[in-house]
Structure 1
Amino acid sequence: MKTINLIILLGCAVSWCNADDSLEDSLQEDLPFTKEATRIDECPVLQNFERATSVHRLRPSDIEVVAAIGDSLSAAVAAINIDTDYLTAEQFKQYRGLSFDMGGDENAITIPNFLQHYAHETLIGPSVGVRDVPISKETFFAFDAKQVSEIDRLNAAIPAATSYNFTQQAEYLIERIGKNTSLAKKWKLITVFMGLNDLSASCLPGYSFIEYRQRMEKGIELLKQNIDYAIINVVGLLHSEQMQDVTNKDPTYRKHFKDDTVDVQTFECICCHPLASTKLLPQPLAGILDKAVSPLGKQYIARNVELYDRELRRLVMKQANHDPDATTAVVYQPFNIDISSVPVKAISNLDGFHPNKIGQEYMAKAYWNQLFLPSNKKQQNLQFREDLPVYCPNANDYIQTM
């Protein structure tokens, strides 16, 4: 059967449940723990150190550039709730300055702003501001969206992206921070968080875990071959098929279009709504999809979450680089979230799927805390906690690569 490259936006690109209480214990027991804080600006600023020469000896202050490969989560789609009676397509925005892994808006709780606290100079790459989500009359979320460099900067994420788009996003970054650019030898933190949209379409041809791994491996190799002086963090996946259950418990929370025959969740996760497949695309594709979609729906996605994530772990393990003088490393960052622990207030009321500002802030803190834990101590299961403290690295802490 012909592979169908269907790019589905997945607000279930939402990893926003937080590390459980054992995180603090792990940090205190296994790292030279200074303290924790409610905000990064409460952490002590460290003395200046000589510039690192190995990717395995990077402190936060060594990072000069941030970049990302991703989808609607890294684009911070729908991060600000609305207060109108009805939802309109025009209200879907990308709040890129609030993105957990790439946001650079002032006072935003994000990875770039955490790094900026320790930086000697202004960090290069954080996305800023707000822009529209490209909309299509046929599929709601436009499949052909591109980066807007003035706002996105080095945040290559596109809302509707799947692993099919990895190469395009990688090329966008290579053009700006690759080996032949002025930023070639600056230390970089690159986040790769991609696969939740693949999961939403994983009941369709072309989205098996094997095909997903092949595309992800090709993309990571492209980054490694063309970008040096970088930690490439590959963020793990979560059970996105459970996201709708959270807001379904509070039917009044999520906003709807005045035309109640249109439900944005149908477009965001096609395999969560297998019987809706014929409404998403015109013939003859609709007929093909109707036959391809598995009646198992969410159960099918749940199975694929485990398979996809297993393949991410395997490909990162294959990329392991123990050379003490290495200048590039690929690291797996588990981000498995207990979706049942996520409160409604952390989810956007535009679609009941994406993390809003509360969710994005949690993700930033949880991701930051994981960075300083070695692979055998990283938190494998995360529970949402709005008041999760941030770790304050001390002079002996490095961003862990093994």
Structure 2
Amino acid sequence: MVKSIILNVLSLFTLVSISLAKNVTDIKDCPALSRRTPSVNINDLRVDDIKIIGALGDSVTAGFGIMGFDRTVPLSIASQKSKLEYRGLSYSIGGDRGAGTMYNYINYFQPEVFGASVGSRLAGICTGKIAIYIYSFYSLLLFFYIFTGAIAMNLDGELDYLISTMKSIKHIDFEDDWKMINIQVGSNDMCGACNTSYMDKVTPEKYGNYVDSAVDKIQSSIPKVIVNLISSFDLSQLFELTATNSQYCVARKDETGDTGCSCAANPEGLNKMKEFSKGYDQKLLEIYKKYQSNKSNSFAVVYQHCNFEFSKFSMEFFSTLDCFHPSLKGHTWLSKIFWNQLFLPQSQKPIHPLFNTEETIYCPTDSDRININ
């Protein structure tokens, strides 16, 4: 009898929570969360408990080419602007006012969150491990140590910079504040699968080892943190889709006909990219499962897959610069689907989310927690 009453109460509570939940097109239309004492257990973590956000990755997360190629301005100006990294608009950690980003969504519920990247800058290209140390010398982007051209091998250097910077900021509590670190890398690894100079460094096995090593270092070096692993895109689909849209894709090829992606030149290379993409996803899933079976009260890994069927996407998702990087609309959509997935168990996350410029944002209720299962 008592058990039946409890089950009925829980069912009613669930129905009330669902009825209170809503989806909006602007995060500012979400109801505020009731204030509470921050959780001491990651199993009870709400988005407003997050006080610090960091990001690791490559040019996709750095926001390269977001604004595309502006044909309405002089060529010299358009060329320079198209090569900017619009880091303040990056889907995961951009903090520009009004931008659709995961950082801004958290900031709406937790105004004291810290770590956003703002504004834009000329891209800094990394073509090897030595560039890690050169780049860190002049980077002023707080917890957003990402560079165009990075591969999974570079995560360790990015992470060293992120950790040292976190510890140096005096007005945050490194030991006690809850943190979220978004990681997405793999596009350059995939393209390098046919590059004889470092193809042995980008195999799925090596990729998995580099990412796992980074996650392990986060666990051992950063207290009270949730790692948001985001898979890379299957780039083999991009070249098939955008090859017939040369007028849209201004810089699809340079004057030599090179796409900048060595594996995109022939069907064999595209097949290898597809194979590596599946391999990378499998390794990320293994990392997620590894930490699922080794849980603690202060550390967790969640996994967001990108099983996108690009053949069903409109070209608006891609930057007009190169049809390789996401556009502003693409980044805004990514921020929404990855935000929405934070509240779902792995088994309920959409298999093949479709690009939709009218995608809505889930408004968490007081009873919602970041789902780490």
TM-score, normalised via structure 2 length: 0.85
CA contact (8 A) 2:177 2:224 kept: yes
Relative to structure 1, the CA distance from residue 388 to residue 73 in structure 2 (aligned partners, 3 Å threshold; closer, same or farther) is: same
* Structure 1 equivalent of residue 207 of structure 2: 212
Offset of 1:348 from its aligned partner?
1.0
The one-letter amino acid of 1:302's match is K
Give SS of 2:201's match.
Answer: coil
Are residue 390 (structure 1) and residue 353 (structure 2) matched? no
User: Are the equivalent residues in 2 in contact too, given 1:67–1:102 (CA < 8 A)?
Assistant: yes
Work out which of the residue numbers 163, 168, 171 in structure 2 matches 1:174: 163
> Who is 1:254 aligned against?
249
Partner residue of 1:339 out of 290, 302, 310? 310
Match of 2:275 among 269, 289, 303: 303
CA 222–178 in structure 1, closer or farther in 2 if over 3 Å, else same: farther
Structure with greater helix percent: 2
The corresponding residue for 2:284 is: 312
Within the alignment, does 1:197 sit opposite 2:168 as a pair? no
Of 128, 135, 143, the residue aligned with 1:146 is 135
Please say if residues 246 and 342 of structure 1, whose CA atoms lie closer than 8 Å, have aligned partners that are also in contact.
Answer: no
Which AA in structure 1 matches 2:226? I
Q: Is the 8 A contact 1:35 1:391 kept in 2?
A: yes
Q: 1:129 to 1:240 in 2, by over 3 A?
A: same
Letter in 2 for 1:56: N
State how many pairs are aligned.
345
Q: Within 2, Cα distance between the matches of 1:312 and 1:30?
A: 35
**3-state DSSP class of the match of 2:240?**
helix
Residues 1:367 and 2:346 are matched in the alignment: no
Task: Please list the CA deviations of residues 163-205 of structure 1 after superposition, one character each: whole Å capped at 9, or x if unmatched.
Answer: 1101001111111335998423211111011122111112322
Asked if the contact 2:123–2:147 (Cα under 8 Å) also holds between the matched residues in 1, the reply is no
SS of the residue aligned with 2:105? helix
Aligned partners of 2:240, 2:314: CA distance in 1, in Å? 11
Shift of 1:29: 9.1
Could you tell which deviates more after superposition, 74-83 or 172-181?
172-181
Q: SS of the residue aligned with 1:317?
A: helix
Contact 2:230/2:303 (CA < 8 Å) preserved in 1? yes
Q: Distance in 2 between the 1:103 and 1:179 partners?
A: 21
State the shift of 1:332 in Å.
1.4
Relative to structure 1, the CA distance from residue 31 to residue 316 in structure 2 (aligned partners, 3 Å threshold; closer, same or farther) is: farther
How far off is 1:256 after superposition? 4.0
The answer as to whether partners of 2:69 and 2:79 remain within 8 angstroms in 1 is no
CA–CA separation in structure 1 for the residues paired with 2:104 and 2:168:
26
After TM superposition, list the pairs within 5 Å mapping 1:94-173 onto structure 2: 94-119=85-110, 121-134=111-124, 146-147=135-136, 148-150=138-140, 152-173=141-162
What amino acid does structure 1 have at the position aligned with 2:234? H
Kindly indicate whether the alpha-carbon contact (under 8 Å) linking 1:178 and 1:227 is maintained by their aligned counterparts in 2. no
Q: Does 1:88 align with 2:87?
A: no
SS at match of 2:346: coil
Asked whether the equivalents of residues 179 and 225 of structure 2 are also in contact (C-alpha less than 8 Å), the reply is yes
Residues 1:321 and 1:57: Cα distance change in structure 2 (over 3 Å): farther
The equivalent position to 1:227 in structure 2, one of 222, 232, 238, is 222
**Do the aligned partners of residues 387 and 180 (structure 1) sit closer, same or farther apart at CA in structure 2, a change above 3 Å counting?**
closer
Per the alignment, do residues 153 and 401 of structure 1 end up closer, same or farther by CA in structure 2, a change over 3 Å counting? same
Select 1:186's aligned residue among 161, 177, 184: 177
Flag the 1:32–1:106 CA change in 2: closer, same or farther, 3 A: same
Distance (Å, rounded) in 1 between the aligned partners of 2:125 and 2:181: 28
8 Å contact kept, 2:125–2:149: no
Whole-angstrom CA distance in 2 between matches of 1:192 and 1:63: 16
- What stretches of structure 2 of length at least 5 have no aligned partner? 1-13
Question: Aligned ranges for residues 8-19 of structure 1 at < 5 Å?
Answer: none
Deviates more, 1:343-352 or 1:64-73: 343-352
Identity across matched positions, percent: 27
> Any idea what SS the aligned residue of 1:109 has?
coil
Cross-structure match for 1:381: 352
Read off the aligned partner of 2:346 and give its amino acid letter: S
Instruction: Return the offset for 1:245.
Output: 2.8
Query: Hey, what's the Cα distance between the residues in 2 that align with 1:31 and 1:196?
Result: 39
User: CA 1:238 to 1:189, structure 2 compared with 1: closer, same or farther past 3 Å?
Assistant: same
User: Which letter does structure 1 place at the counterpart of 2:153?
Assistant: Y
C-alpha distance in 1, partners of 2:23/2:59? Answer: 30
Task: Identify the residue that residue 5 of structure 2 maps to in structure 1.
Answer: none
Shift of 1:260: 5.5
Conservation of the 8 A alpha-carbon contact between 1:256 and 1:350: yes
Alpha-carbon shift at residue 111 of structure 1 (Å): 0.4
Indicate the larger mover: 314-323 or 339-348.
314-323
Equivalent residue for 1:288? none
2:8 is matched with none
CA-CA distance at 1:244 after TM superposition: 2.4
| Structure 1 residues 89 and 262: CA distance shift in structure 2, 3 A | farther
Equivalent residue for 1:54? 41
Alpha-carbon contact 1:233-1:332 (below 8 Å) kept: yes
Structure 1 unaligned spans of 5+: 1-27, 275-294
Find the residue that maps to 2:247 and give its secondary structure.
coil
